[in-house]
Amino acid sequence: MNMGLFAKMRKSASLAMTALFISSVFLSGCGNSQTSQSSGSSTDSKSTIKVGVLHSLSGTMAISEVSVKDAEMMAIDEINAKGGVLGKKLEVVTEDGASDPAVFAEKAKKLLQQDKVATVFGCWTSASRKAVLPVFESNNGLLWYPVQYEGMESSPNIFYTGAAPNQQIVPAVDWLLKNKGKKFFLIGSDYVFPRTANKIIKAELNAEGGQVVGEEYTPMGHTDYSTIINKIKEEKPDVVFNTLNGDSNVAFFKQLKDAGITSKDLITCSVSIAEEEVRGIGAENMTGQLVSWNYYQTTNTPENKTFVANYKARYGQDRVTDDPIEAAYDAVYLWAAAVEKAGSTDVDKVKEAAKGLEFKAPEGTVKIEGENQHLWKTVRIGEVQADGSIKEIWSTPDPVRPDPYLKTYDWAKGLSN
């Protein structure tokens, strides 16, 4: 035992602080050290088309993104089983974004420049999408982004198959104002999506006679909501509009129930909780609470019955499908259809062919809006059931036109910059 060094260790206070600092810097960059798996490396480029799949397979976002990747792989395999695209099989290059925007950007560059993939399916958080956006634009690549998001974006190199705010948040607020009350309490994780979403909600409430009685943000991974629940109790809102992401939701709903508050006392409406998340939260903790999406596992279409059955047969009966999973599945089919129509995988030709393209998706027919490369989608408000499924209680009669910048709403002027 070296006593001199041991002595140095005793001045541990400052050392521990240094250690914490080092670790917090490195934790965010730890994805660099993770090995990424690239499945298949066939050299015969003539008989296959390379496509990239870029999701977080490790880190905090792996929770959500792994199942989305699974849906994309299923769609790709289904297409291959039917003979592929343009008579060529699809060859997948999988990369791990490791829940870190910087890694996402690096891997996107690798997929486009080194692997020369025809298109990429990927990303979940807005932070990762914002990080890869310049890479796709400067390399003229093509990204299919499968998750609902805060809008205010329309890159010529991205197709957005999740909901724009006017297909999820805006109609949900509208419905809640009419059916549940005027006093809103906003709670969200502290990053770009919840903050932008709440900016939109506040503008809408302001214009339509609602009132915000509280607005709280918690860091990602926050797990103690006793103080915020206390604040909610004090303000007595009609509705809690929840944009928390990830694990925080579990802590929030469990602790809400422990504080003696159920959906009978206080209604919450969440836009980042789907069937997959309900499973983690525990259905008993949020029975009767509301969510807003475009698709549920229970959505009643023939396409969905096949989709759910195939997904469960492939990945296990205990797995569930949800909105981002479905949107990711649609993305693969939409791209394949656009390539068939264009007769080429050339990005500009595919984009041109994709305009107005329709697909009979599990959620019903979706259509690509040529102007902003988002999808026409049906909005559905659902109620969480005791068995963890979500029952649709309201929907728009027809698919809603995507409006990422909310140009058709007077109150939204000035929000987009």
Partner 1 sequence: MDTYLLQIFNGISVSSIFMLAALGLAITFGLMKIINMAHGEFIMIGAYAAYVIQNIFSQYLPASIFDFYFFIAIPASFLAAGIFGWVLERLVICHLYGRALDSILATWGVSLILQQLARSIFGAPNVDVKSPDWLNGALLIHPGLQLPYKRLFIMLMVIICMTAIYYLMYRSNYGRKIRAVMQNRAMAASLGINTRKIDAYTFAFGSGLAGIAGCALTLLGSIGPTLGTNYIVDTFMVVVLGGVGSLWGTIAGGFLIGTGNTTLEFLTDATLGKVLIFTLVIIFLQWRPKGLFTINSRSLDE
Question: What residues make contact with partner 1 under the rule CB under 8 A?
Answer: 1-10, 12-17, 19-20, 22-24, 26-27, 30, 33, 57-60, 62-63, 66-67, 190, 216-219, 221-224, 226-228, 230-231, 233-234, 247, 250-251, 254-255, 257-260, 276, 279-282, 284
Nearer to partner 1, 216 or 392 (CB): 216
Q: Residue 201 Cβ, how far from partner 1 at the closest point, in Å?
A: 17
Nearer to partner 1, 68 or 164 (CB): 68
Q: Residue 47 Cβ, how far from partner 1 at the closest point, in Å?
A: 33
Residue type for 401, please?
Answer: R
Nearer to partner 1, 29 or 343 (CB): 29
Nearer to partner 1, 102 or 283 (CB): 283
Nearer to partner 1, 99 or 155 (CB): 99
Q: Residue 364 Cβ, how far from partner 1 at the closest point, in Å?
A: 27
Q: Residue 358 Cβ, how far from partner 1 at the closest point, in Å?
A: 33
Q: Residue 280 Cβ, how far from partner 1 at the closest point, in Å?
A: 4
Q: Residue 285 Cβ, how far from partner 1 at the closest point, in Å?
A: 8
Q: Residue 302 Cβ, how far from partner 1 at the closest point, in Å?
A: 29
Q: Residue 258 Cβ, how far from partner 1 at the closest point, in Å?
A: 4
Nearer to partner 1, 9 or 81 (CB): 9
Nearer to partner 1, 84 or 388 (CB): 388
